[in-house]
Amino acid sequence: MYQKLRRGIAMLELVFAIVIMGIVLMSAPMLVSQASKASLMGTQQEAIAAVSTNIGMILTRHWDAQDTNESLSSPILSTDSAVTLLNELNISGVPMGIRAGMPIVSSRSFLTSLGGRLSATPPANFIDGNFDDIDDYNGKVDKLVDTITTSVEKGDYIDKDMRFTTSVSYISDTPSSGGYNTASVTLNNPFGNTITPPNTSHIKMVTINASTNNVATELQKNITLRAFSCNIGSYTLEERSFN
């Protein structure tokens, strides 16, 4: 007579299985927490990308409303900055309309193509509703949900309740050491030195704040990005005709 044996689980194997299950269960809350943090980071990065895109779009506009007339070749505009006309070249006391050290034929001039000068727009007159220069976006408030038509065209955003608030202001361009006609120049932190209206300067700062009142904690945010643009005129393409 033969005894029939059945395979079973040894006590040692059972202990190992229980230990492994315990480790897995103990790490589960940490895995859930990491997944939640990754989701939060994703929504924050999405908002930063949206704000950065908006700032990039605004910076493609003309520096000032006075620059939008392309027939005047977008000159360097006059401001009431302490940096008087950025060290304009003078010959026998006569302003030449260009910066010192620049070629006489330079297109980046303080003078328009008609020979006159234009002044930068004071803050009180920033908005004209055309959205063709940086100033027009001052005080503009957009909601992402209002700008999305389809996810294919605008992107598949998780948080469509983001609100973008834009402000434009002049910031200080006065050197803390050196000068614009010296070999080196040092400026203070421009983001903490705004110009009091109605004064103007040669630098404009664009600030966009992205916020949301979404009830979901991971979608709540308050993000601010800043960028600046300088009053340097614009280049002119050289044209030649051949017979």
Provide the pLDDT confidence category of residue 37 given band limits of 50, 70 and 90: low
Mean pLDDT of the chain: 78
Provide the pLDDT confidence category of residue 208 given band limits of 50, 70 and 90: very high
| Spatial distance between the Cα atoms of 210 and 142, rounded to a whole number of angstroms | 10
26-30, 150-154, 231-235: least confident range: 150-154
Mean pLDDT value of segment 66-89:
79
pLDDT for 69 equals 85
| Spatial distance between the Cα atoms of 113 and 75, rounded to a whole number of angstroms | 8
| Spatial distance between the Cα atoms of 207 and 63, rounded to a whole number of angstroms | 15
pLDDT for 58 equals 92
Q: Which of 197, 168, 172 is nearest to 186 (CA)?
A: 172
Q: Is pLDDT of 34 > 60?
A: no
Percentages helix, strand, coil for the chain, rounded to the nearest 5?
35, 20, 45
Show the CA angle centred on residue 103, arms to residues 101 and 104, nearest 5°.
115
What's this model's pTM, rounded to 2 decimal places?
Answer: 0.73
Mean pLDDT value of segment 106-131:
85
